[in-house]
Amino acid sequence: MTARRPTIGVFDSGVGGLTVLKALLELIPDADYVYFGDTARLPYGSKSVETVARYAVEAAHFLEAHSAGLLVIACNTATALALDRITAATRVPIIGVIEPGAAAAAAVSGNRRIVVVGTEATVSSHAYLRALEAQGLEAREKACPLLVPLVEEGWIDHPVTEQVARIYLDEAFADGFREADVLLLGCTHYPLLKPLLHRIVPPQVKIVDSAKSTARAVASELQKLPLRASAVHERRALPRLKFFATDSVEKFRRLGERFLGHPINDVEHVDLKE
Amino acid sequence: MTARRPTIGVFDSGVGGLTVLKALLELIPDADYVYFGDTARLPYGSKSVETVARYAVEAAHFLEAHSAGLLVIACNTATALALDRITAATRVPIIGVIEPGAAAAAAVSGNRRIVVVGTEATVSSHAYLRALEAQGLEAREKACPLLVPLVEEGWIDHPVTEQVARIYLDEAFADGFREADVLLLGCTHYPLLKPLLHRIVPPQVKIVDSAKSTARAVASELQKLPLRASAVHERRALPRLKFFATDSVEKFRRLGERFLGHPINDVEHVDLKE
């Protein structure tokens, strides 16, 4: 049997999914990664289920064609709106971010009452509500459409961002959810706002994102795959990383480094022809 | 000769171009209109010249195929980045918003010193700077990437929007441009912010957008076209309006009415296959 490391495909509408890739690299360094960011058509969070599903299936096919043996949908909106359609359209195992995120929230909540923030499309789909209720939690979902543009503007720790986040969170942590003890970040852009959010959530609140729990779900799925068994034969110090973006590679590199936490090389531009 | 009214194609990445359509309807009611909003791929303002040019040429072809005898590029980013490529790719006259916007600014400026605000892509292209310098004006361009998301969130008259606009405009109206006497709105979303912007610009500043001057440029171009000559034979009380959007028609209708100022019917969904 030829020694072969698994290749994991990671997909997001843009650079936010790099927060998930970061967690994957920490937990599973003995794999190779292909990342696809659909930056020419982002954001997905304000768009309809039909459009998001069409884009996401194209992205999944692209990653399958680039040897991915497992796909991580590192985009909350694509997971919320299109996980079933992506799964039906591909032949490899698919891991989304919503189930792992809900599990992470359930693991740390004491009073089983949590607030989820995400894009307009993610919240409208109620995918988190269903996943959290299945875990026995009560959840309130709150759309925060301005947080992604604020992060992309680089206003990570800016008074305006704090004011906007306060407006959204004051509405969310109200009435029956005043005592909620978890804030689940249902968008891969939001982990960059953690320090700011910590300052403004009520004191009992823990902030959870789905990056680490998604990485754990991937590790567990890999154990089941035949490709994993042979991976140990070819251990290298560093994983191979390959990035594709549908818009400017320069912008992907520049913005992306903020999310991944280290330099990004080897980004290739790609057009998805429909 | 068969009596025939002109059909004018109007294109924007989303609903912002409806502010231009509104001005067209007021000035040229004896025409029919086909509007195309590329809502599945918006925004253009954060994307590269290659991507924007490819999308804009597809949109222009779509409108040509829908009988448009003249095309209005009612999107500052598409005009700034791709007017030449659209003109080269089509057979009908093309009017963008930048030349008319620059002419409108020149007409009202006393001290020939103006500030232009727009998207990141529009500002990076320096298309306004060139157009304004050609009119003998000195200009400072300032990218305001958060204003579009704030308008789309509906925060038209919100303290956060005022704070963000103040940050951008304080930087723009500084140093050599402290005395500038025109603020040119180089994005079709911004006219909705006029009341708010009037409160925060220095007192000598007039606010100009390109909607009306673009409509005048279209009227003047129509005089040159043979189709215009026959238009008088078929005067109707109301122009025919047909809208196409690449994402949800429901959302287009809902958001669009804010920009057009009256109800929108007859929106059809369309996929642009590349």
ipTM of this complex prediction, to 2 decimal places: 0.92
Do A40 and B46 lie within an 8 Å CB cutoff? no
Q: To probe the interface with B, which of A38, A51, A119, A161 has the most B CB atoms within 10 Å?
A: A51
Per the prediction, chain A carries an average pLDDT of 94
Q: Is the pLDDT of residue B91 over 80?
A: yes
Per-residue pLDDT reduced to its tens digit, A21-63: 999 999 999 999 999 999 999 999 999 999 999 999 999 999 9
The C-alpha of A146 sits at a distance from chain B's nearest C-alpha, in angstroms, of 6
* Chain A CB within 8 Å of residue B163 CB: yes
Q: How many CA atoms does the CB half-sphere of B158 hold within 13 Å?
A: 16
Domains and CATH numbers, chain A: 7-96+212-269 (3.40.50.1860), 99-209 (3.40.50.1860)
Q: What's the rounded mean pLDDT across residues B52-64?
A: 98
The Cα A105–Cα A101 span in angstroms is: 6
Question: pLDDT-based confidence at B227, cuts 50/70/90?
Answer: low
Q: Is the pLDDT of residue B66 over 90?
A: yes
Q: Is the pLDDT of residue A96 over 90?
A: yes
Residues of B in Cβ contact (< 8 Å) with A37: none
Question: pLDDT-based confidence at A227, cuts 50/70/90?
Answer: low
Query: What residues are paired with A207 via a beta bridge?
Result: A183
Render A147-166 in DSSP notation, one character per residue. Answer: HHHHHHTT-TT-HHHHHHHH
Q: Considering the candidates A74, A147, A165, A187, report the single residue annotated as catalytic.
A: A187
pLDDT of residue A238: 81
For residue B197, the tally of other CB atoms under 10 A from its CB is: 22
Q: Is the pLDDT of residue A101 over 90?
A: yes
The DSSP letter of residue B205 is: P
Helix axes A127-134, A76-89, angle to 10 degrees: 80
- List Cβ neighbours of B245 (8 Å cut-off, separation of 6 or more): B36, B37, B38, B39, B40, B252, B267, B268, B269, B270
Residue whose structure tokens are 């779509």: B62
Cβ neighbourhood burial of A115 (10 Å; 0-12, 13-18, 19+): buried
pLDDT of residue A230: 45
pTM: predicted TM-score of the whole model, two decimal places: 0.94
